[in-house]
Amino acid sequence: MTFKRYAAALALALFGGAAGAAEITIACGSVGADVEICRTLMKEWTARTGNQVRIFVTPNSSTDQLALYRQQFGAKSDEVDVLMVDVVWPGIIKEHLLDLTPYAKGVQKEHFPAIIANNTVGGKLLAMPWFTDAGLLFYRKDLLDKYHEPVPATWSALTAAARKIQDGERKAGNPDMQGYLYEGKAYEGLSCNALEWIASSGGGTIVDASGKITVNNAAAAQALDLAATWPGTIAPKNVSSFAEEEARNIFQNGNAVFMRNWSYPWTLAQRADSKVKGKIGVAVLPHGANGKSVAALGGWQLAVSKYSRQPALAADLVMFLTSKEMQKKRALLVGSLPTYPALYRDPEVLKAAPYFASVVEAFNTAVARPSTVTADKYNAVSSALWNTASATLAGRVKGAAAVQQLEKDLIKVRRGPRW
């Protein structure tokens, strides 16, 4: 008998198995305060059920996480029981997730119907919504005031204001000041940015809801050409290696005027160790000359791996964490956006997150990535998009040639008349 087994047998003998006290492993992200909030909420579940939780820390890029899970699923690994699922994944990993319908017991009706629809594939509820999100423009109120600049409504206004304030601040003694930060690395985050640039310039959503490939158009090409002027001018050259956290760290250290990010930096920027506490504002993202503001729709769900050896217990943890009570706690502690419409009317939630008003406005401009229509091919679609955007930002190709090539790449990914 190994020591581990001996210890387990001893515990069983002593505590009668503590009514079968078990351990569940959850992968719950590593962006911002993800791990911190996971620990806090897990303690509550442990206190209520006696079961333990092990936190499996994942890479912070959504693309790297997906690759890791696909490896684990391929090996039918039982290492992770509960995992966080990006809003664009249900169609990609549907075969590996447990149908949660029997465990949800109707609570799904209290969430935003669009998210439940997104998480339901072939009639199976594969993931419970945990929080939702949208792309936002963060800005330095103090600097816009100092330079008498309004919050920019268009991408060209943002380009000009970022340049003016960045140059002014550099002259005034801060050589590290940057104008605009965003997710420029070749991964899912860049696809979100590129979709926002293109859709907000009237260039469509790359692939439309009927499955048609729409990206090869002049508005899309122009949007990419404007973005290509940013690296090395208003954005650092190495923005091509930035995901959410790289952008947030610089912004929170006081070294950027504008930043595109999701909602999570807001609460972190208000903490005592933040250099921009009380100095920032949030607005909807700018738009192109012939378009209107667009926010990529983000957000995460919790799901149970089909290979979990404790599916019922894992599902219990998912239902607990995604409950209205825990989502409220999450909103109060880290400002994440609940998936229960009722919580947006909760006075305590609104008081803790005064920026929710801007966020609700961003939701009105939200556009989904084409993940439902392209289903299991979405990751290939997105990777074609981020590679195209990345090549354009690096100056290797101009917008018009880039969107033409992207159309060809997407036709190859589709392989046939339908997705």
Residue ranges binding ligand GLC (CB under 6 A): 62, 86-88, 133, 188-189, 192, 262, 298-300
H or E segment to which residue 190 belongs: helix 188-199
**Is 225:288 a contact under the CB 8 Å cutoff?**
no
* Nearer Cβ to ligand GLC (45/262): 262
* Nearer Cβ to ligand GLC (245/407): 245
* Nearer Cβ to ligand GLC (29/254): 29
CB of residue 251 to ligand GLC, shortest distance in Å: 16
The CA dihedral of 322, 325, 330, 333, to the nearest 10 degrees, is -170
CB of residue 133 to ligand GLC, shortest distance in Å: 4
Listed in sequence order, the residues at least 6 apart from 276 whose beta carbon sits closer than 8 Å to its beta carbon are 140, 251, 252, 254, 269
- Strand 256-261 and strand 136-140: the pairing is antiparallel
CB of residue 149 to ligand GLC, shortest distance in Å: 28
User: Whole-angstrom Cα distance, residue 241 to residue 65?
Assistant: 17
* Nearer Cβ to ligand GLC (205/217): 205
Token readout for 82 is 């509960």
Chain centroid to CA 329: 19
The CA dihedral of 239, 241, 244, 246, to the nearest 10 degrees, is -80
Place of tokens 């100056």: 395
Count H helices and E strands in the chain, helices first: 19, 12
* Nearer Cβ to ligand GLC (80/296): 296
Residue nearest to ligand GLC (CB): 298
CB of residue 132 to ligand GLC, shortest distance in Å: 8
**Is 128:104 a contact under the CB 8 Å cutoff?**
yes
- Half-sphere exposure of residue 120, counting CA atoms within 13 Å on the CB side? 14
CB of residue 222 to ligand GLC, shortest distance in Å: 24
* Nearer Cβ to ligand GLC (336/358): 336
CB of residue 300 to ligand GLC, shortest distance in Å: 6
* Nearer Cβ to ligand GLC (242/340): 242
Place of tokens 């909103």: 331
